Amino acid sequence: MIVSIITAVLNNKDLIEDCIKSVLSQTYKQIEYIVVDGGSTDGTVETIKKYTSNSPLPPFTKGGMEGFSGSRRITKWISKPDKGIYDALNKGIKMATGDIIGFLHADDVYAHNKVIETVVSKITKQDVDSCYGDLLYVDKNNTDKIIRYWKSQPYGDGLFRKGWMPPHPTFFVKKEVYEKYGYFNTDFKIASDYELMLRFLHKYKISTCYIPEVLIKMRLGGASNRSLKNLIIKTTEDYRAWKVNNLKRNFYTIPCKNLSKIPQFFKR
C-alpha cells in the first residue's frame, strides 16, 4: 500500500528541511513524497532540490534521523504560484498516486519515525477509509517543549455537533475518498480543513479509527491563530462549513469548538 505525503510550502527555508527529513526518515518503505512550493524566493527551492533524485543527500544528524537509509528522495515537486495553502494541497492530491494521502506542513515533523508504519497497519487491520491521532503544539525553536496537547478520542456519530473535530494534520484518508467526495474547498481561506473533515466524516460518514498516540508535532503559530482577525474569519468559516453542506448544527456547536482548545494547554 503506497502512502502519498504532501507538503505545501512558501518561503520557509528555515524549517522546511526538518519537515523533509522527518518524512524521508520514516521506516515505512512505500512512501511517495510530494512537495508543492508556491514560488518561494527565500532559498526554500534550493533546500528542496537537495533532496531530489538528482542530488546527493546531506547527512542526517538530528531529531532521530540517523537511521535514514540514504536511498529515499522527494518523489515529485513543483514550484509555481498558487492561490493559497488549500489550492496547493489540492495540487498535491491530484499529483498523488498513493492509496492513502496524508499531509505534513512545512513547519511540522512526525513524532517518531514509525508514524506511517502505524497508520498503514491501523487502516489495514481495521479496514477503514481513514484514521487520525493526537497532536502536540510545540515551541518553534524547541520541538521538545510542549505548549498544547491536542488529545483526540474515538469517533462517534454526533461528535461534530458537540464542537469536536480531529487534528487535521493527523488525518490520513484513502485517495478514493477524495475522488468520490471532493477536495479542499478553496472558497475557505482558513477553515477548509474543518469543512473537509465535516464533509467526509459527518456528512458522508466515511469509516475511520483513532490511533491513541501523538503522530505530529506542530510548531505553534498556525494561520488560524495568528491574530484576532484570523480567529474571527475562522469562526465565520466554521459556521459556513455547516451551511454549504446543508447540515444542521446545535446552537452551541461552534462556541464549544472554540472553547475545547482551552484544556489543551493544561494536558501533558
Show me where the domains of the chain are located: 1-110, 128-167+192-268
Work out the angle at residue 167's Cα, subtended by the Cα atoms of residues 239 and 115, and round it to the nearest 5 degrees. 160
Mean pLDDT of 36-54: 94
Query: Distance between CA 128 and CA 232 in Å, rounded?
Result: 35
pLDDT at 67: 47
pLDDT at 268 over 70: no
Task: Report whether pLDDT(14) > 80.
Answer: yes
- Which of 222 and 85 is assigned the larger pLDDT? 85
Please tell me the predicted confidence (pLDDT) of residue 183: 98
> Does the pLDDT at position 144 exceed 60?
yes
Among candidates 5, 81, 93, which has minimal Cα distance to 37? 81
Hey, how many other C-beta atoms are within 10 angstroms of the C-beta on 240? 15
pLDDT reading at 44 higher than 70: yes
Predicted local confidence at residue 247, as pLDDT:
98
pLDDT at 58 > cutoff 80: no
Confidence (pLDDT) at 66: 47
The confidence band for 262, taking pLDDT boundaries of 50, 70 and 90, is confident
| Residue 62: pLDDT over 50 | no
- Give the separation between CA 249 and CA 240, rounded to whole angstroms: 11
Whole-angstrom Cα distance, residue 11 to residue 4? 23
Average pLDDT, the chain: 92
Which pLDDT band, with edges at 50, 70 and 90, does 226 fall under?
low
Looking at residues 145-160, what average pLDDT do you find? 96
Domain 1-110 homologous superfamily, CATH: Spore Coat Polysaccharide Biosynthesis Protein SpsA; Chain A (3.90.550.10)
pLDDT for position 11: 97
Cα distances from 96 to residues 4, 74, 126, 249, in angstroms, run 6, 13, 23, 34
